[in-house]
A and B are shown apart, each in its own frame.
Chain A
Amino acid sequence: MLVVEDLQVGYGAIIALRGISFKVESGQVVTLIGANGAGKSTTLNTLSGLLKPRAGRILFENVDITGKRADVISQKGLVQVPEGRLIIAPMTVQENLEMGAYKRTDSEINSDIQQVFERFPRLGERRKQKAGSLSGGEQQMLAVGRALMMRPKLIMLDEPSMGLAPMLVNEVFSIIRTIKAQGTTILLVEQNARKALQVADYAYVLERGSIVKEGSAAALQADEEVIQAYLG
């Protein structure tokens, strides 16, 4: 579904990605794990079109989307839930979800909003509240709900558990399982490698801008080096 070939990205003199290649198959949960600064968020932002690559190719559903604008890419169904739960604070919960459906013209927008509220009842209770007044966990729910309103084919989650209390972290991962169960493909970027590998089918390990290891989630969970570096 998503094929990345030899992707290189840099900011000025700094090289953030040194030519990485990976794949996400339809229906899979793929995770990119790695330390802070390894290039995980850079990868997602480049896939989203927020950053322009220096070299390499990105194919989404066999279409070359390299260097396309972010709004064009997200419209194709490659949707990012950005790091830090970037919800639109001054708008209500309801409006945030409506903005997820900004480019949609179909008649199912309202029923999709209802679905989000069914999945996250806490959002339904606060639909008229300003998004900025929600708790951290609720904001993460809203960010995911808003992404779901875009009817994504592949949803990219950037550090969804960052800054959340341990109980909420579990909640976030259960949300990921639910999305997966509904057949949405997921690319998950996480620092919490243990949790990520538990939900993922396949994983890549990113170190200083290069992929140093890959394999099925089960295999990496058993890998000595991975256990040493990320799970220990």
Chain B
Amino acid sequence: MNLRTLFYVLSAIFLGFLIPYLIATYLFNKEVLSPEQQLANAMWRGSIYSLFALGYALIFSILGLLNLAHSSVFMWGGYIGLMSVLKLDMPIWVAMPVGMIGGGLVAVSVDVIAFMPLRRRNAPRISQLISSIGASVILLSLATLIFSSTPKRFPQDSIDALPGTADKPLTWLLDNANVRITPIQIAIFVIPIVLMFLLEYMVNSLKIGKAMRVVAFNQRIARLLSINVGNIFAFTFFLSGVLAGAAGVLQGLAFNSMTPYMGATVALKGLTVIVLGGLGNIRGAVVGGFLVANIEIMSIALGYGWLSDAVVFSSLFLILLVRPQGLLGESGKMRA
């Protein structure tokens, strides 16, 4: 099962990176400067997209609902991690889980405030969608008020404190090619994949994960099986918040700039990713994340940077023409 995921990730890279690369080089004689480095760039951008989209997909699979406040939870998780370092002097490996748990709690409060009252009244999905937009705006305004809109970043020494980073960037030599990868970028690549495997394991093998799948399949059955559906919802929101928080902290660490608006850029990308991967499909979210990142980086590498968004959305359009349910989506029922 997990090997299959890896296979899918590799196919995403193949589709999004290798094929355009080969076509450009051999058919159009267009040179890609340092493709190895660009591949590395695509890998960690993809990791963050995947991690972000995972939480989106998780909620969609369980509630059949888009939580448009997810990008604000992502931003809050990042800021909670940042504040733990700035104000409480926590080392980064403590601040990271703090940011994740913080993101989880913010997500649970989004559920309690924006979704629960509407769920109780059996409100239509569209009201819940609008309500989540409202929650997103409130979270954004609160963050602007508390953290101000001035860009902030993790102090350099918090990043240097990571094991093995004392000596600045590591340089990997691959057949005369210089690929520069900082330890933080390795962490950014490894952490989402570890989290993704944990999530898959949890959903497929643990009791609570199975309960989530039952809720996703049919809430009535879940209730009759003594599953507390409200708790499962809260837990799902918590998990998605944890994933978003991890993505937020990693994004802050990776790219050295955080503002309350950091969620806005990722929000649309995340949506694209899960539609591309197959709505509510966990593996699809990961594959979609890598695919979108690879397409973006490749379009920049080929010198069409200003077109990268257009390229991404055209690919989305093309893929949906061929597979309306998304790459890994199953037609008909969604599944966790």
Contact = CB atoms under 8 A, between A and B. Distances in A.
Contacts of A102: 207, 210-211, 225-227
Contacts of B213: 88, 90-91
A82 B221 CA distance: 8
Contacts of B207: 102
B214 A50 contact: no
Contacts of B333: 89-90
Contacts of B226: 71-72, 74-75, 102-103, 150
Interface string A53-87: 00000000000000001111011000110100011
B223 interface: yes
Interface in B62-109: none
- 3 pairs of A and B residues whose beta carbons are closest in the complex: A70-B223, A75-B226, A103-B226
A88 B224 contact: no
A179 B180 CA distance: 69
Interface residues of A, number: 26
Contact of A88 (B218, B223, B228, B229): B218
B220 interface: yes
Nearest to A95: B210
Contact of A50 (B210, B223, B227): B223
Given A86-B218, A88-B217, A71 B210 contact: no
B335 interface: yes
Given A71-B225, A71-B228, A100-B225, 8 more contacts: A71-B223, A71-B229, A86-B218, A86-B221, A91-B213, A99-B211, A103-B226, A146-B225
Contacts of B228: 69, 71
A52 to B, nearest CB: 11
Interface of A: 48-50, 69-72, 74-75, 79-80, 82, 86-91, 95, 98-100, 102-103, 146, 150
B335 A90 contact: yes
Interface of B is mostly: helix
Given A71-B229, A90-B335, A79 B214 contact: no
Contacts of A103: 226
A62 B226 CA distance: 20
A157 to B, nearest CB: 12
Contact of A150 (B210, B211, B221, B225): B225
Nearest to A49: B223
Interface of B: 207, 210-211, 213-214, 217-218, 220-229, 333, 335
A99 B215 CA distance: 11
B221 to A, nearest CB: 5
Nearest to B231: A71
A74 B211 contact: no
B223 A98 contact: no
Contacts of B217: 88-91
A72 B218 CA distance: 18
B224 A79 contact: yes
Nearest to B232: A71
B48 to A, nearest CB: 30
A106 to B, nearest CB: 14
Nearest to B230: A69
A69 B226 CA distance: 9
Contact of A99 (B214, B220, B223, B229): B214
Contacts of B224: 48, 50, 70, 74, 79-80, 82, 86
Nearest to A70: B223
Nearest to A147: B224
B210 A91 contact: yes
Contacts of A88: 213-214, 217-218, 221
B30 to A, nearest CB: 45
Contacts of B222: 71
